[in-house]
Each structure stands twice: as structure tokens, then as C-alpha cells.
Structure 1
Amino acid sequence: MTSHAAPALDPSADIVDLTAAIVDIESVSGNERALADAVEQTLRAHAPHLEVLRDGDTVIARTARGLDRRVLLAGHLDTVPVADNLPSSRRTHEGREELVGRGTCDMKGGVAVLLKLAVEADAAPMDLTWIFYDHEEVAAADNSLTRLAAERPELLEADFAILGEPTSAGVEGGCKGTMKLEVTARGIAAHSARDWVGDNAIHHLAPVLERLSAYEARRAVIDGLEYRECFNAVAISGGIAGNVIPDRASATLNYRFAPDTTEAQAEAHVREVLAGLDLEIEVTDSAPGALPGLDTPAAREFLAALGDEVTVAAKQGWTDVARFSALGTPAVNFGPGDPLLAHTDDEHVPLADLRTALEGLRRFLTA
């Protein structure tokens, strides 16, 4: 157990109050320790039925009752940088009560639901693993699940996994893969008053942008869910001064690909789109997608517990369900908050979403 004081969290509090308390512990990626301490302290103090482990700034809690199946529930503790949206606040907007602040949607509302149920679900009909982890909002290599998969894979073993990512309290199956690439053009430096003796590297990126502008993204329907691919330039750089023809320029590209596409196939597709251009192409970050997996017995049981009115859709972003899919564990996304509000300055979560997600997951764990 950590030795320094952690902010106190009350798992018996109303889910809105608990969410606000978690949101107010700032935990931008790389600064998750205070929140991890608070989560660890809460579980040790209020959940004697759980074995609690600490791995860096990740907290793992498990039951070991020898039941015939195990469900893993996970949520990341980190957020993107604060944008003058902490501490949290409440408001009523268009007749809807909302909790506003960094992380309310992505995904401290989900973390609050998981933490509350980790304490409550001491007699679930299945063994449970709860993982509250760090560094999800940064490069895949820094994600603590990457470390756990490599060093302690037994902690990730389960028959079914639920990620508390924002889904407006619906179910989102699978996720798209993601690939970041650096595309570099070379030229010849020269004084901008004598450009004929140089070769402008920035201009060589124009065909890249033209191809991306004309790109028609694929829509893949898998198990009845439609995944929309996306291929975009997300950053561009080049030049050293206002009177110098640049000899180097680069663009950062991001390709989001359907889960029926492997990383190798995704890279091959990118190179095909950019074929014939005099460029250097380097993959800088990549993670595979995950197939929906909604036809598995555990997923069907989960959907049944949520009821006929629950919405089911494809996850249009990347989430850590992909990690569990790679381990052979079917996984879904389920949590409070609209995913379109993730990372926005006006990030917020409807209070009704918090309660709906809590009650739905509670029914599954107490069926």
C-alpha cells in the first residue's frame, strides 16, 4: 500500500458525487499517481473480498472464489490536458442535468461506476477482475496494459471484458485500428529570393494533401455493425525562416481502419494510396482493431441484463478492447457519456447516463 496520503473517495456516495470527486483529482497522462492512490485506498478500506495489487500507477483488484468464469472490468485513470475545465461543476442544459469537467466523459464517469460496483459486487455469480490503469491517452507503447500483457499476462485473463469507455450508456462493439505515420519530403535549401536554385520540400507535400482530400473512405459492415474508416493529415511542419526555401517538410497522417483489417494490411493500403510520390513513409505508432464479439455467450448475457432498449453500435474510435481481443477475450465498450464529447473543452456527462450505466452493470453483476 502506498505510504503517502491520498484523497478520500466514498464508494457509498451517490454516483454523481463519486464521479465529481474522482474528476476533481487531476490526472492528466503521466500524473495519475494521486488518483491511483485514492482508488487503491478505497478498495483496501471498503472491499475486503478483493485482493488488491498495485503495479506502477495501475490498481488491480480480483476475486478468487473458484467460479467457472471470470469477467474483467477496466477503466483508465488518465485524461487529456485540462482546458480550464476543473474543478467539476453541475449545470442544467436544455432540461438535462450534467456534470461538467475534464474527464467527466472520458472516462472518469466510467471509473466511478466501476469503483462503486467493485465494492458492492461481493457475491457476483462470476469471478471478477477490476483494473484501473494509467497512460491510455498517449502512445500505445506507454499504456500500462501493454506492460501488464508483457510482464503479468495472468492478470488480464478473463472470459469476457468490459471497458468503461463513454458510449452514452449503450454498447459499442469492437473498435477500429489506428496507425500514425510520418511522411517526409526532401528538397534543396535556397534563399527565397532565388527559388530557382532550390527545391521547395513543402510543395512536394501538396500531392499528399490532394490524395487525402479526394480519398473515399471504406465503410465495413461486420456482424451488422458499420465501421467507417478515416484517413487524414493531422499535422504538418517545415521551414526554418521566412526567407529560406525549406529542404525538408513532413506531414503526420492518421489512418483509422476497420477491425477486419490487420496492421500489415493497413500499412500496405497507406503505401498504395501514396504510391508514386517521392516520399519517406515511417509508421510511428500503430494498434490493431477488435472485432465486435457480440455473438459470444458472455456478450449475449450482458446484453440481456441491459435490456431490450439498450443501443448497440460499432465503436468508431480505438479503445483497449483491442488488447483483450488480441488475447482471445471478447470485449465491449460500455459507459456513461457521449464519446463525441471526449477531449472537448465542454466535456460533460449527463447525470442520467451515470445512473443508467450503474444500474445496467449492477444487474449484470448480480443476476
Structure 2
Amino acid sequence: MKREKRQRIEADPIPLDLQEAILTRLPAKSLMNFLCVSKTWSSIIRNQRFVNSYYAMSSTIGSRFTIAFCCGSQAKFDDWRLFVFSSSYEDEKSSSLATTLHMTIPSVSSASGCLSVHGLIGCTIGGPFIVCNPSTNKYTILPCAGPRTFLGYDPVGDQFKALTMVSYPPPPQPQDFLVYEVLTLGGGESSWTCNTFTSLPHFTVTNSICINGFVYYAAWTPTRTTNPVIVCFDVRYERLSFIKAPMPVVCWEGESILIEYKGKLASIARHPHADFHSFDLWILEDATRHDWSQQTFELPFSLGMGRNITSPGTNKAGEIIFAPKHLSYDVQPYYIFYYNVDRKDMRKVRLLGIADDEEFRRRYKIAGQCYVSISPEHVETIASL
């Protein structure tokens, strides 16, 4: 009796470019788990070209919100955390957006201006500067020693940089100059580089925003209440310049609101100590000529006191978003508002899961006033510092 020979069938290996194409379509958290599957997959996922391809693919799928706030026990610092959420993809017909808690960062007692820059979140806090990636649940504490740090991204050089104001002018006497440090990030802490430069004295009054390789923030120069300007930092060439700004753009100091509007820097001006039922939209049309345009809009209904409402920016449809600055003290729904500048109408959308659950508040000992920072049009990335 003849024994049949079994034919060994070997499957052809999947081409490398096909493996990359498949991996770009997977969630970021899955990719982090797949780093341990094989050396080949680990090499693909960590490759900078793949990181860029993944970001480009995520950009075509759509953007989300990131929502961050700090809360904790009033009596114990160790109980404080920075909470980072993201929303589901936007649907213009929906009256709500689901949110997901991605990560908590311990021992952070205050945060403001948690800005999404090319998929990473930079958080200005009263201490070290934190950069986190909610898609991978990783964060880095940067060695930035100064009262203010701003995160920027250079799309040409494909580099993240942190701009730190090392010295700060104590009012009312201005200093002759300010000292800045620029930390170029990427490739691990051992490869970070730091440069120092000086600038004319100015008094910073807003958080920053990064648009197309430039970091902007509003300031007075050289002292308070005189010469309102927009400070412009060229991330690639590490140069600081000043753009003359109309008084309404900077006049309310910390109440000034800078946003990106249709790819340009813009400012929303309203009276912070009156009912928020109208606003002026100032748009920087030409930075070289310091040219600004201005439009006035009336809201269909008041959003309450102006000082309690801010704007994180716009969505892809160009609607201007308004949101409360703080969570409610007790369990209450958290709503954001979309204003359509063409139709002159406004819609109300609830963010589900932003500490509107009693059990959530109890578990994390959330009490007191929690400052909320929203960054619209956040795109997933697997980049790390």
C-alpha cells in the first residue's frame, strides 16, 4: 500500500507595501499592540514615512474634537488629573456627540490651552509642559523651564518644536528684552536640541495657536494697555516677529480669543462682562501689511455672560464653535454651539460623557470648577516624541 505524499503548500508572503496599506487603516491603539507581533511590523509602524502616511490617511477619514480638563480633590494634590477625551466624528444632523476618555495624566492641578498640533496635544500648565498623544495613550513631560510654552509644528521640516518664554516682564516695568528657548523634538529625549534667542519685550495675554508652520499669540508691547500686537513665531526658521493688531483683538487681555478661520488667523471680539449675543470676527488678511478685515454677527439667542464662553475654533464646514469654559459644579449636560456665518443660525450639540455622570465624578473625586479646553479638527497620529 503506497503512502500518499502530502504536498506542502506554502503561502506567498504578503508584499510589504500591502502590509503597510492594511496597517494604515487600523486604529492607532491597535498599531501600538501590533508593535510586539513581529520585528517587521514594528519596523513598519515606527518608520517615519509610515507615520506620515497614517496621519495623511486619518486626515481623509475626518477629524474629531479633543476635550481636556483638570479635576481632583481640593485637599490632596495627588488626586488631581488631566483628563483627555475625544469625540466621535461629526454629523451635522446629530444633536449629540459621543466622547471617549482616552487617558488621564496624574498630578496635574491646572491646565489651559490644551491645543492639538498635528495630532499631538500640548498642555500649558503651572509647571512642566506636557505633550500627549490621546491615540496612543502616551505623554512626555518636556524640560521647558519658563512661565509660558507654546507647541508648534513645521510642515516642511516635519518637526515639532516647543517655544518657551524663559524670562517674563513683571509689570509695570518692561525689560529690555525677553529670552526664549526653542526645543526641537523627536527621536527620543537624547536627540532633542535646544536653541536660545532674544526678542523685544512684550506682555503675553492669550494662549497660542499654530497655523501652517506659524505659532501666534496676542500681546501688549512693551507694556500693558499699549500697542496691541500678534506675536508670530516662524517654527521652521525660529524667528519672532510682530503683527500690528486692532485694539479690539487684544483689548480684553486674557479674554481675547484667537482661532483659525478658513486657514487664516482670526480673532473673536466680544464684551466679556455682558450678555454674549453678538461678536466681531477679525481676520488677518495679510501679515506683511498688517491688514485685517472685520465683520459683525448677531447670535439668534444669547449664550450668557461673555466671560463664561469661549471659542475653540471652527469645524470643517466653517461653522464657528462656542463652548462653556468650565464644567458645571454638579451633574449637568455639557453643550457646545455651532454658528453658521452664512445662514446666520446656530445649533446646539451635547457632548456625551464629559463628566455628566455621577459615578464618573465620584470615582475620580471631581469637585470644584474644572476648566475645559476643546481643540476641534484633531487628527489621529501615531507620532511620538
For the superposition of Structure 1 and Structure 2, which TM-score range results when normalised by the shorter chain?
A: under 0.3
Structure with the bigger percentage of helix: 1
TM-score normalized by structure 2? 0.24
| More contact order relative to length (CA 8 Å, sep ≥ 6) | 1
TM-score, with structure 1 as normaliser: 0.25
